[in-house]
Amino acid sequence: MTIKGSCLCSAVRYEINSELGNAMFCHCKICRKSNGSAFALNAAVNTSDFKLLEGENSLSSYASSEDARRYFCENCGSPIYSKRLSMPEVLRLRVGTLDDDIDIEKGSSTLGVEFAP
């Protein structure tokens, strides 16, 4: 199974050569701010299954904590994925960047103390 995705301006394009892991709604302050929304819908992807097709020069990152980096298109600002330094084998894909229609199974919802009102 190959799943394709891209940023809003299509400068960054990728494919995933596996099924997505369970989706997770995250309502933490960092996810809300980085997505400009009440939550982020993320799905786990093995780093080895993720392939950047175009836009390596357009993909930028920001260290949102000591352990995490968030990758986004520097042209249009679309968040693509995040990655923890402590878990380099897994990335958290922003499901909204998928181009293909897929069935997503919700795995969990992370609310925490910073839950949006």
pLDDT of residue 104: 62
pLDDT tens-digit profile, the chain (117 residues): 899 999 999 999 999 999 888 888 877 777 777 776 777 788 999 999 999 999 999 999 999 899 999 999 999 999 999 999 999 999 999 999 999 877 665 444 444 434 444
**How many CA atoms lie less than 13 Å away from 34 in the CB half-sphere?**
25
pLDDT of residue 83: 95
Q: Which residues make beta-bridge pairs with 106?
A: 23
pLDDT of residue 114: 42
Angle at 73 between CA 64 and CA 70, to 5 degrees: 20
Predicted model pTM: 0.82
pLDDT of residue 113: 38
Q: Which residues make beta-bridge pairs with 88?
A: none
The answer to whether the beta carbons of residues 32 and 38 sit under 8 Å apart is yes
3-class DSSP state for residue 35? Answer: helix
Report the alpha-carbon distance of residue 71 to residue 92 in Å, rounded: 10
Nearby residues of 116 by Cβ (< 8 Å), 6 or more positions away: 27, 32, 38, 39
The answer to whether the beta carbons of residues 82 and 75 sit under 8 Å apart is no
Here the tokens at position 81 are: 């994925």
pLDDT of residue 107: 47
